Chains A and B, each alone.
Chain A
Amino acid sequence: DTEVTQTPKHLVMGMTNKKSLKCEQHMGHRAMYWYKQKAKKPPELMFVYSYEKLSINESVPSRFSPECPNSSLLNLHLHALQPEDSALYLCASSQVFADRGTEAFFGQGTRLTVV
């Protein structure tokens, strides 16, 4: 299995709702990522987990709360979002190397609309 699977594919939520995005991979990768992609823009890194520990938080607002319950799963908990948070949220995974970069495998994304 060489896929990263994200659910749901689409999500519409109100500004007072709490929802979660889910991501799963079974490639044995120990690094998992959340990216945010606005229309016609490149993916922007939000969070990186390495060996199930949060290693990078790119100054993301606290209304986004990541969680890595085990080496195969990555969640992004959403609460009190704003309409400008509407975007495609991409999950990715990769192997971990301390001294170099490596290929990341991306999911199809969750299209989030905040109303």
Chain B
Amino acid sequence: AQRVTQPEKLLSVFKGAPVELKCNYSYSGSPELFWYVQYSRQRLQLLLRHISRESIKGFTADLNKGETSFHLKKPFAQEEDSAMYYCAVGSASKIIFGSGTRLSIRP
């Protein structure tokens, strides 16, 4: 069965602290993994995808096939990072979202 698990509903950290949002997936075949972000009053948008191996807004995510994880990390959180973050798995025109983690950055 296809499943994406984000164990934390809410993550609150101080500005400047490291951030790690956890994501585990269950998927047959070779899916693509994504992180989407939804800032307040803005549309859902792609943050990064595992095949690009980019660092976007200081965030990185490494695909660990052994642990079936795709955790999102940032070494130093900024206040503008406060948003809802969704891990997603996609294959051939079907994208499944995790339940989401709300990241709150305290000043």
Contacts and interface: CB of A to CB of B under 8 A. Distances in A.
B43, B45, B86, B100 — most chain A CB neighbours (10 Å): B43
A103 B100 contact: no
Given A42-B100, A90-B44, A103-B49, A56 B94 contact: yes
A101, A102, A103 — most chain B CB neighbours (10 Å): A101
A33 to B, nearest CB: 8
Interface residues of A, number: 28
Q: How large is the interface on B (under 10, 10 to 19, 20 to 34, 35 or more residues)?
A: 20 to 34
A42 B31 contact: no
A90 to B, nearest CB: 7
A103 B34 contact: yes
Nearest to A108: B43
A23 interface: no
Nearest to A94: B93
Contacts of B44: 43, 90, 106
B97 A100 contact: no
Nearest to A99: B92
A31 B97 CA distance: 17
